[in-house]
Amino acid sequence: MRQSSLVVVANRLPVDDSVAPDGACEWRRSPGGLVGALHPILQQTPATWVGWTGDAGDAPTLPDVDGVRMHAVALSAEDIRDHYEGFANATLWPLYHDSVEHPTYHRRWWEAYQRVNQRFADAAAETAEPGALVWVQDYHLQLVPGMLRALRPDLLIGFFLHVPFPPPELFMQLPRRAELLLGMLGADLVGFQRVQAAHNFAQLAAKVLKVPATDRRIAVEGRVVRVGAFPVSIDMAEMEALSARPDVAARAVQLRADLGDPQHVILSVDRMDYTKGIEHRLQAFSELIAEGHIKVHDTVMVQVAVPSRERVAQYQILRDRVEREVGRINGEFGRVGEPAIHYLNQSFDRSELAALYRVADIMAVTPLRDGMNLVAKEYVAARVDDTGALLLSEFAGAAAEFQQAYLVNPHDLDGLKLTLLHALDASPADITDRMRSMRAHLRVHDIRAWARSYLTALDRSGALAARLTP
Ligand code: F6P
């Protein structure tokens, strides 16, 4: 077993398998999300990524991808059902997102969560060289830092939560709340997207575990665990370069023509998830049409809803509801060749996404709760000519950084409608001012800055962060 000085542990491996022309299975880096976020760092450091392929069954032996070693963890169909679809996505996910859907608690799911976390911890312990830095990601693996510390006290362990961390009123519902907190506290540094999340965590540690805790430091089991906010970001330069490509620019022109060359294009790109506020947004748009504020001929909406977690009941119910509503709106307000909403329940590759961002005069990112929302950041990065309005929920982590966006409370339908109209009517100068300032912020706070700040805080010797190019 080859060992590495940097090990990333995440639920998913950053690869997709695709079939090459000769029939062989190829593993390629998959785009977007957490994977996109960490990739630039891993390329600059000898590293191993421990994760799951997305399929049930034995763990395949994988080739290195772009110089990064891939270590697959096996999950059985039962593990996927009870760990990924169960405890991670039907207990923790809704609980951490303001309980906008009811979290479900099953003891069997908790057992699977422990079992699968132990498997990831074992794999990390195997692949980490003495004194290595291991960076554990997200809510699927909250027990891993504690399990790993028990196996390998020599390691420097980081944990970063990509999703929101809830206030005590919600977290206290969790039957196994103390174990989850202790699991995270196995790390040397626990990172969150927002300062409020770090505060919630410290309050909970004090309340549940009765340990001395501030928003920056928690004393537990004779160690001091550091806590902080490190808002994740994107590779701005990559998205800018993609968006500026002549073929992407040409595709954007084509897309606009295909949409009937309307005056305004409003775009939303979400995973099909009940946290994303898709139904609230559809309702706001439909009311604006019904009240005559928006004409379907002038203003089209494009809703991309990428299929997600399709075996989880709440996601199936949401998809049915969204599709019924899109059908109703198009049936009522569309005309032949002119639907009110262009609805796409599919994934897009990065260049098609960049072309869509270029077409969008308004990008509506209005989740009910979101850890960060990297789509909002990608849109800003793609607007290389400083145009485009970002309509952004106050409840997305990105709102803490993008105060120049058109900020909305997505629960307030009248406020959402008014702000959308305001963005549609805004002067080009106002739009450019806002976009320029968001782009300036993003340029400084890109993915490399995020990695550097987290890794510098974790590894105070600075050795690892120094390997990251500016
Ligand atoms: O936002 C949390 C997250 O796990 C991201 O890291 C990921 O890109 C997204 O949700 C999709 O999740 P899944 O692995 O369930 O498809």
Residue-level pLDDT at 378: 96
Q: Is 264 a catalytic residue?
A: no
Q: How many beta carbons lie within 10 A of that of residue 323, not counting itself?
A: 14
CA 140 to CA 90: how far, in whole Å? Answer: 11
pTM of structure: 0.95
d(CA 289, CA 285): 6
Distance (Å, whole) CA 124 – CA 389: 43
Q: Which of 269-273, 364-368, 463-467 has the least mean pLDDT?
A: 463-467
Residue having the nearest C-alpha atom to atom 6 of ligand 1: 34
Mutation probe of ligand 1 site: the residue of 138, 233, 234, 274 with most atoms within 8 A of C-beta: 138
The residue whose CA has the least distance to atom 15 of ligand 1 is 309
* β-pair partners for 375: none
What pLDDT score was predicted for residue 2? 87
**From 370, 445, 446, 459, the catalytic residue:** 370
Q: Give the contacts of 180 (CB within 8 A, at least 6 positions apart).
A: 142, 143, 174
Distance CA 379, CA 142 (A): 31
Mean pLDDT confidence for 420-442: 98
Q: How many whole angstroms from 330 Cα to the centroid of ligand 1?
A: 30
Please compute the mean of the pLDDT values over residues 148-153 and round it to a whole number. 98
Cα angle 292, 431, 289; round to 5: 10
pLDDT value, residue 103: 97
Confidence at residue 90, expressed as pLDDT on a 0 to 100 scale: 97
Atom of ligand 1 nearest to the CA of 35: 8
pLDDT of 469 over the 80 cut: no
pLDDT over 80 (residue 23): no
**Residue 343 confidence (pLDDT):** 98
Which range among 12-21, 142-151, 390-399 shows the weakest confidence by mean pLDDT? 12-21
Tell me the Ramachandran region of residue 309: left when phi exceeds 0, alpha when psi lies from -120 to 50, beta otherwise: left
For residue 305, report the phi and psi dihedrals to the nearest 5 degrees. -125, 100
The amino acid sitting at 439 is R
For the chain, give the mean pLDDT: 94
pLDDT band at 414 (very low <50, low <70, confident <90, very high): very high
Ligand 1 centre to CA of 153 (Å) is 29
Q: For 260-269, write each residue's pLDDT tens digit.
A: 999 999 999 9
Query: For residue 130, what is the enclosing H or E element?
Result: strand 128-137
8-state DSSP, 30: P
CA 429 to ligand 1 center in whole angstroms: 36
Please write down the HEC assignment for all residues of 31-73: CCHHHHHHHHHHHCCCEEEEEECCCCECCCCCCCECCEEEEEC
Ligand 1 closest atom vs CA 139 = 4
The mean per-residue pLDDT over the stretch 361-383 comes to: 97
Q: How high is the pLDDT of residue 36? A: 59
> What is each CA distance from 404 to 117, 387, 390, 401, 431, in whole angstroms?
40, 13, 9, 9, 9
pLDDT-derived band of residue 347, with 50, 70 and 90 as boundaries?
Answer: very high
Which among 39, 140, 162, 445 is annotated as catalytic? Answer: 162
Do residues 355 and 255 touch, judged by C-beta distance below 8 A?
A: yes
Q: Name residues contacting ligand 1 (CB within 6 A).
A: 12, 33-34, 138, 162-163, 308-309, 371
What's residue 467's pLDDT?
60
- Alpha-carbon torsion 218, 221, 224, 227, what sign? negative
Say what the pLDDT of residue 466 is: 64
Cβ–Cβ under 8 Å, residues 26 and 16: no
Amino acid residing at 390: L
- From 137, 163, 450, give the residue whose CB has the most ligand 1 atoms within 8 Å, as the site to mutate: 163
User: Quick one: average pLDDT of 121-137?
Assistant: 97
Q: Per the structure block, which two tokens stand in for 334?
A: 């569309």
Q: Which whole number is the average pLDDT over 259-286?
A: 98
Relative to the CA of 33, which ligand 1 atom is closest? 8
Query: Cα(65)–Cα(49) distance, rounded to whole angstroms?
Result: 10
pLDDT of residue 452: 87
Tell me whether residue 297 is one of the annotated catalytic residues: no
Name the residue with higher pLDDT: 32 or 397: 397
Return the pLDDT at 25.
67
Give the tens place of pLDDT for each residue, 31-77.
555 555 566 667 777 799 999 999 999 999 999 888 889 999 999 99
Rounded to the nearest angstrom, the distance between the alpha carbon of 93 and the centre of ligand 1 is: 10
For ligand 1, the distance from its centroid to the CA atom of residue 332, given in whole angstroms, is 34
Query: What per-residue confidence (pLDDT) applies to 16?
Result: 79
Q: What pLDDT digit, counting tens, does each position of 291-335 carry?
A: 999 999 999 999 999 999 999 999 999 999 999 999 999 999 999
- Report how far Cα 371 is from the mean position of its chain's Cα atoms: 7
Mutation to probe ligand 1, out of 55, 162, 233 (largest number of atoms < 8 A from CB): 162
| End-to-end Cα distance, the chain | 32
pLDDT tens digits along 115-124: 999 999 999 9
In single-letter form, the type of residue at position 436 comes to R
Name the more confident of 192 and 35.
192
Distance 438 CA to ligand 1 centre (A): 25
Ligand 1 centroid to Cα of residue 33, in Å, is 7
Contact by Cβ (8 Å): 233, 377: yes
Residue of higher predicted confidence among 264 and 463? 264
Q: Among 92, 48, 90, 55, which residue's Cα sits nearest to residue 75?
A: 55
Residues 266-295 have a mean pLDDT of 98
Q: Which residue's CA is the nearest one to ligand 1's atom 16?
A: 308
Predicted pLDDT at 9: 97
Angle between helices 236-244 and 246-258 (to 10 degrees): 70
Residue with the smallest CA separation from ligand 1 atom 8 is: 33
- The lowest-confidence range among 31-35, 79-83, 222-226, 356-360 is 31-35
Select from 12, 13, 87, 374 the residue to mutate for testing ligand 1; criterion: most ligand atoms less than 8 Å from CB. Answer: 12
- Say how far apart CA 16 and CA 294 lie, in whole Å: 41
